[in-house]
Structure 1
Amino acid sequence: MTNLYPVRRALISVSDKTGLAEFGQALIARGVELLSTGGTANALRAAGCEVKDVSDVTNFPEMMDGRVKTLHPVVHGGLLALRDNDDHVASMNEHGIGAIDLVVVNLYPFEKALARGAAYDEMIENIDIGGPAMIRSAAKNHGFVNIIVDVEDYAVFLSELEANDGYTTYALRQRLAQTAYARTAAYDTAVSTWMAGQVGDAPRRRSFGGQLVQELRYGENPHQAASFYADGSGRAGVATAQQHQGKELSYNNINDTDAAFELVSEFAPKDGPACVIIKHANPCGVATGSTVKEAYQKAFDCDRTSAFGGIVALNQPLDEETAKEITGIFTEVVIAPGASDAAKEVFAAKKNLRLLTTDGLADPRAAGLAVKQLSGGWLVQDKDTGFVPAEELRVVTKVQPTSEQMADLRFAWTVAKHVKSNAIVYVKNGATVGVGAGQMSRVDSALIAAKKAERMAEALGLPAPLTQGSAVASDAFFPFPDGLMEAAAAGATCVIQPGGSMRDDEVIAAADEAGLAMVFTGMRHFRH
């Protein structure tokens, strides 16, 4: 097998017709014969390209609404024949099979149909059959055949033809084949994952697919290589956000920005401005306010030390006044559903500050998967979309929470869902005032959160920590009264927790003795 092979005949059948006219014209100019089907053939002819219908080559019409058109020996024989194998060449001659040197296919838009929530029957019709079959045939025979599945490879391919006078190298064909196999794998992943959701059972085999967004400078640490892939779901967030300024996002930036955006998406814009500040994937400040600026200020005042170099997420568009406030300290990333021109001007002076805007917020109740790789396998679970309506909360103490306390309890519970376990969150007047995250002991989380509040009170010149008179949330039940008592010692007056401990009665009795109001949710939010 030689390295260089000519491109004399191409089969093109695409759903995404971006750049098709120019690409077809460039191939015609090089003397390449074009075969095509349906709408692709019409689009090429409209661009002035001479095209032969595949049905004229196979002597078999397109049928069954286009389901059967390229599934034919004349097509696949032209793709799979080894050009340097005498028996294959003899078979081609005997059966009138012409070699096909290039296939351009980009598949039915299954992922786009999935992203817009298409009905079952439409999803089925968007499952491509002939396309993947041709892709795999061409990719298998990449020693001779070129396969293009992405529009962005048109220019690379044409440059290769230009450099080699109508020939392509084995190296290019091999790279194109790898891209093609990855594309069909991701496509089949989308189909099989969707179908698994329809069936409802854990599938016997599970695959994951994505499209490269960017190669990252490094991973969590400089010695780790890393890349960022989008899953094609179209979910609003860092994967679909537009970056307006600042240097390239790092692995840790992306991870933390996702954590910030997922939490701020819990707060509907119609309910007022909300701000989240994240550091190392944990919230160090979360607040609501009458304005976006006030929400930021209240979130910042929870833990000003940790906020330095943090990630800020807003549930409403960034305005000029808030932008000025944010630039008061070093901030890595700001993500919001929009930003005014004046706010962008403020940020323009901070060249390293990244500003991302999204098309709305993520739906915190939308189903999805959370995946974790471990040695020799994967752990797969549903995303934590758990939500407890107000009417399902159960007061278990003699003291009933006031309406103001209940509002803070629900706020604290929302935040605790996004804090690494063991999580303790103190909230007062719609703002976190102490966050304890990731400790092996729930008591330690309560102590750390309270200590942070004490330090912030000193820094702000307050007479007492803001945990005095606060609401406190625990992501899982208190197994003993000790953690609850630490929260009470910090000044908490009401508590929200899942309940379900063998010692619930002891914990409730301790709450009653301390004069606390306590609410059970019946749902825990471990986050490891």
Structure 2
Amino acid sequence: MRYGMNPHQPARIVGGDGPRLVNGEPSMINYLDALNAFALVREADRATGLPAAASFKHVSPAGAAVAGTIDDVASRTWRVPPGASGSLVSAYVRARDADPKSSFGDVVALSRPVDADTADLLTTVICDAVIAPGFEGGTVGRLAAKRGGRFLVFEADPSLDAPLRERRDVLGLTIEQERDAIPVERALPADAPLDAIGRVDALLGLVVLRYTQSNSVAMIRDGAAVGIGAGQQNRVDCVRLAGAKARTWWLRRHPFVDDLPAVAGMQRQDRLNWQMRFAGHEMTRSQQREFADLFGTDTLRTYEDDRWRAEWCGALDAVTMASDGYLPFRDNIDHAAESGVRAVIEPGGSARTGEVAAAAEEAGIIHVQTGLRLFHH
């Protein structure tokens, strides 16, 4: 490999079966992202029957989605046609649009062979690698030319299953465990009071958590993970982080944010970053001064007024929240309710699960216990 976790760490592959390297020279993190990302989309495709895509950064998804509707905001942002779609490109547009700040320079994973439309999109976004189970004619050459020929292209074998047992060496200690391979659809109760869309959202949420650094919580809406809270030491912070990302995604649909004045010469990613700062009310004082210079003092006054955010977020609804571990306190539900969550999927089994279930009922939230913990490290 080019190097290990860091450039000063030499690394090499010493055995095993993996994806075929078609182009580029990966580092260890590139491999870890590609392997985990493809496992996620392959499992999501199997569980839902829909093409799936993921945007991976530092061994956790920044976004994940199955094929579905591209709304007007995503259509304008990524320059693809709007509307309902069962296409592979719609899955990646929805995955990347969830948190485009985090997806900058991502590893793209796709559950179906790369077609011309998806290749067209990937040539226009800042990403470092793609992994897919195949490539239609002409797409490999176009993708391999990205980043001056350094773009990483992996071809995965979708029929290849990992060994049932896995090992890890940590500071001289070798640990072996059984691979986490229980189908999530088996864990989701058949009689759970979820409609067809809610069931897809629940399945996608569980699959996303299986490949997200724990503790983790995922908020899913209409087949797309619009907020992922990963790697926190307490669960309520996961909920708060996922909720903040989901609300920022939703606020980007507000006319105040979507219709920010155009600035000549501004790159798409720079505009997205300003929109997310504006939506999330997260600018520093120096950024506010720069924002006023770019977009006008009237727009800055709108930024400073929080009333429109509260009103708009009050309409966020139909969100499913999945948790990789049990929810230990009702405050998880209280925070989830403020992000439009209407169904919670969790293992259950806490000493306070009864209190959590009561809080969900109080908030009008469906509470589903799976009995399946999905920690991933």
TM-score band, normalised by shorter chain:
0.7 to 0.9
Residues 313-344 of structure 1: per-residue CA shift (max 9 Å, x gap)? 11110011111112222111101111112322
The aligned counterpart of 1:353 is 151
- Distance in 1 (CA, whole Å) between partners of 2:89 and 2:231 is 29
The aligned counterpart of 1:3 is none
Distance apart, 1:390 and its partner CA: 5.0
Distance apart, 1:407 and its partner CA: 2.3
TM-score by length of 1: 0.54
Task: Pick from 322, 339, 343 the counterpart of residue 494 of structure 1.
Answer: 343
Contact 1:320 1:346 in 2 (8 A): no
- Distance in 2 (CA, whole Å) between partners of 1:391 and 1:504 is 18
**Secondary structure in 1 matching 2:30:** helix
Task: Pick from 50, 58, 63 the counterpart of residue 272 of structure 1.
Answer: 50
TM-score by length of 2: 0.74
Q: Does 1:308 align with 2:101?
A: no
CA 1:249–1:457 in 2, change beyond 3 Å: closer, same or farther?
same
Q: Does 1:284 align with 2:284?
A: no
Of 496-505 and 265-274, more deviation after overlay is shown by 265-274
Distance apart, 1:392 and its partner CA: 5.7
Q: Does 1:449 align with 2:242?
A: yes
- Distance in 2 (CA, whole Å) between partners of 1:496 and 1:360 is 28
Task: Pick from 212, 231, 245 the counterpart of residue 438 of structure 1.
Answer: 231
Task: Pick from 129, 154, 166 the counterpart of residue 333 of structure 1.
Answer: 129
- Distance in 2 (CA, whole Å) between partners of 1:504 and 1:458 is 32
**Secondary structure in 2 matching 1:427:** strand
Task: Pick from 1, 12, 20 the counterpart of residue 241 of structure 1.
Answer: 20
The aligned counterpart of 1:218 is 3
Distance apart, 1:434 and its partner CA: 0.5
- Distance in 2 (CA, whole Å) between partners of 1:331 and 1:227 is 23
Residues 232-281 of structure 1: per-residue CA shift (max 9 Å, x gap)? xx4xxxx24141x3x31111111111111111120346923111110000
Residues 192-236 of structure 1: per-residue CA shift (max 9 Å, x gap)? xxxxxxxxxxxxxxxxxxxxxxxx2321112222112222xx4xx
- Distance in 1 (CA, whole Å) between partners of 2:104 and 2:376 is 24
RCO higher in structure (CA 8 A, sep ≥6)? 2
CA 1:359–1:382 in 2, change beyond 3 Å: closer, same or farther?
same
Code of the aligned partner of 1:285: G
Code of the aligned partner of 1:430: G
Distance apart, 1:352 and its partner CA: 2.2
- Distance in 1 (CA, whole Å) between partners of 2:342 and 2:31 is 37
Distance apart, 1:414 and its partner CA: 1.5
Count how many residue pairs are aligned between Structure 1 and Structure 2. Answer: 300
- Distance in 2 (CA, whole Å) between partners of 1:459 and 1:331 is 22
**Secondary structure in 2 matching 1:372:** strand
Contact 1:425 1:434 in 2 (8 A): yes
- Distance in 2 (CA, whole Å) between partners of 1:348 and 1:218 is 20
CA 1:464–1:480 in 2, change beyond 3 Å: closer, same or farther?
closer
- Distance in 1 (CA, whole Å) between partners of 2:188 and 2:125 is 41
Gaps of 5+ in 2: 68-85, 256-311
Distance apart, 1:459 and its partner CA: 3.8
Contact 1:453 1:465 in 2 (8 A): no
Code of the aligned partner of 1:405: G
The aligned counterpart of 1:17 is none
Distance apart, 1:388 and its partner CA: 4.2
CA 1:466–1:405 in 2, change beyond 3 Å: closer, same or farther?
farther
- Distance in 1 (CA, whole Å) between partners of 2:144 and 2:185 is 42
CA 1:315–1:482 in 2, change beyond 3 Å: closer, same or farther?
same
Distance apart, 1:468 and its partner CA: 2.9
Distance apart, 1:469 and its partner CA: 1.8
Task: Pick from 180, 185, 189 the counterpart of residue 384 of structure 1.
Answer: 180
**Secondary structure in 2 matching 1:227:** coil
Q: Does 1:251 align with 2:28?
A: yes
Q: Please, what is the CA RMSD of the aligned residues? A: 2.3
Gaps of 5+ in 1: 1-215
CA 1:375–1:230 in 2, change beyond 3 Å: closer, same or farther?
closer
Contact 1:312 1:335 in 2 (8 A): yes
Q: Does 1:519 align with 2:298?
A: no
Q: Percent same amino acid at aligned positions?
A: 34
Work out which of the two has the higher radius of gyration on C-alpha atoms and give 1 or 2: 1
CA 1:464–1:319 in 2, change beyond 3 Å: closer, same or farther?
farther
Distance apart, 1:412 and its partner CA: 0.9
